Each structure stands twice: as C-alpha cells, then as structure tokens.
C-alpha cells in the first residue's frame, strides 16, 4: 500500500512539473519599474527572459546576479505573478558626485564610489579628487571611497557651494567651495557636527578667497590664509 501511495505521489509530482513547463506557464509578460539609465531590451537579454523560460524555472538570485553587470543597477526585486508574468523592480544607483577617470573622462559616481559611466562636463555635482593626483586606476571604490561617502552626506544648506571633495592617502577629507575657500574635515567621522560648524562659518564669518578652515575638531576652528572678521 505504501509503495502504491509513493508511486501515485511521484506520478502527480512529475505531472505537475510537466504541466508547469508548458507554454501557458512560460514568461510572456515582463513588467519593469525603476529603470531609467539602462535599456529594457538589454536588461531582458541579460536576464535571459527573451527566450520566455517557464516561470517556475526563473531564479530571482540568478537574475539579480546577471543584472549586476549594469553600472546603474544596484539591485532588483523579482516577483512572479502566475501564470506567466514577471515583475522586476529595479533599484538604480544614485549619482552623488562626478570624477575624472584615468582617460580624463568625467564619470558619475555613487555613494559607494561606483563608476556609473560618462557624465556631461556641465553636471552640477561636486567633483571628487584623490590626493595622489593622476591615477592609473579608479580610486573611489577603494582608497578614495571616503570622498564619495562624504559627497553623499552633504547637507542641502551648502551642498551647492561645494566644488571639490578631495581625499588624501591618509583618508583626510577637504571641501573646496566655489568661493574659493577650503574646509578641512579630516577623517569622515562626526560629519553632522562638522557640517554644522561649516554652516555656521559660512553664515557668520567673512572669509577671503584662499582661506583654509580646519573643522577636524568640531567647535574648535582654525583658519589659515586669511582672518575672518
């Protein structure tokens, strides 16, 4: 009796698997939301969905892995809607700055230092700079990542006034303003307190072009190159 039940269950399982691989259950509709910088056709091809695979065979982790090669795609949520629809909710990376690559082409950069691709020269975002000057490789995803992180944290109060966010080999951050005045932040810690100090200086002090204001220790400022009034 047990053997008969097992055979019946095995037959049902095999029959169900066969049914789910028929054309009615293949991917016929793919809805993609959140996609702006990559083409739909390229995403479908990379995800392997042009061949209309059976919905049961679609792997969410597999799709996310294959789409991770696209510069702008930071993640994707895959939802199956039976019998034949797939929903892809794409999370695109957000540019927080720009930086020149080794070929001196301006690139968009996200908060993690990821190179997102070419940016127009007139883009109104801070420019990242790494203290060792010309680089043969992209430093902002590694040693220079702190500059991208700080750019992502700049407050609205003065973010539009920041021209360059630079980081040196020791990890010290400086902000060059459009004035031009430079604020030295030091390590990317206590950013909120340091930003409050910067906003206070901008609002209440008279600085001369070329002045350097050290806010490494929030609340204890040091100005060189000129004196605030």
**Distant-in-sequence, close-in-space partners of 40: CB < 8 Å, separation ≥ 6:** 32
| Alpha-carbon span 163 to 127, nearest angstrom | 6
Percent of the chain past pLDDT 70, that is, above it, reads 89
Average pLDDT over residues 101-109: 95
| Alpha-carbon span 135 to 142, nearest angstrom | 12
| Alpha-carbon span 215 to 228, nearest angstrom | 14
Average pLDDT over residues 211-225: 90
Residue 144, exposed/middle/buried by CB under 10 A (0-12, 13-18, 19+)? buried
**Distant-in-sequence, close-in-space partners of 8: CB < 8 Å, separation ≥ 6:** none
DSSP 104: -
Average pLDDT over residues 12-30: 75
pLDDT band at 165; cut points 50, 70, 90: very high
The number of residues in the chain equals 229
Pair 163, 132: CB distance under 8 Å:
no
Q: Among the listed ranges 6-20, 138-152, 179-193, which one has the minimum average pLDDT value?
A: 6-20
CATH architecture of 95-224: 3-Layer(aba) Sandwich (3.40)
pLDDT digits (tens, 9 = 90+) for 142-163: 999 999 999 999 999 999 999 9
**Distant-in-sequence, close-in-space partners of 84: CB < 8 Å, separation ≥ 6:** 24, 25, 26, 27, 28, 29, 55
2-92 has CATH 3.10.20.310 classification: yes
Higher pLDDT, 67 or 220: 67
Flag whether pLDDT at 218 surpasses 90: no
Pair 29, 52: CB distance under 8 Å:
no
Q: What is the mean pLDDT of the chain?
A: 89
Kindly list the domain boundaries of the chain, sorted by start residue. Answer: 2-92, 95-224
pTM score, whole prediction: 0.84
pLDDT band at 8; cut points 50, 70, 90: very low
Q: Smallest Cα–Cα separation from 96: which of 111, 116, 112, 115?
A: 111
Pair 197, 219: CB distance under 8 Å:
yes
DSSP β-ladder status, 162-167 and 173-177:
antiparallel
């Amino acid at each position: 009796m047990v053997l008969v039940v097992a055979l019946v269950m095995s037959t049902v399982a095999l029959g169900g698997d066969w049914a789910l691989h028929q054309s009615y259950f293949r991917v016929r509709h793919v809805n993609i939301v959140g996609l702006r910088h990559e083409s739909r056709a390229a995403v479908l091809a990379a995800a392997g969905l042009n061949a209309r695979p059976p919905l049961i065979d679609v792997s969410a982790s597999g799709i996310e892995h294959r789409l991770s090669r696209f510069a702008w795609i930071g993640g994707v949520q895959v939802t199956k809607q039976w019998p034949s629809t797939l929903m892809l909710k794409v999370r695109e990376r957000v540019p927080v700055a720009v930086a020149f690559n080794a070929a001196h082409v301006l690139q968009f950069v996200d908060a993690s230092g990821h190179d997102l691709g070419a940016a127009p020269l007139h883009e109104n975002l801070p420019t990242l700079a790494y203290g060792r000057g010309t680089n043969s490789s992209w430093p902002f995803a590694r040693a220079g990542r702190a500059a991208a992180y700080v750019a992502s944290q700049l407050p609205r109060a003065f973010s539009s006034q920041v021209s360059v966010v630079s980081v040196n080999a020791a990890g010290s951050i400086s902000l060059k303003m459009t004035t031009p005045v430079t604020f030295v932040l030091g390590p990317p810690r206590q950013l909120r307190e340091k930003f409050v100090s910067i906003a206070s200086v901008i609002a209440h002090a008279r600085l001369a072009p070329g002045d350097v204001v050290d806010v490494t220790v929030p609340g204890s400022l040091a100005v060189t190159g000129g004196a605030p009034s």
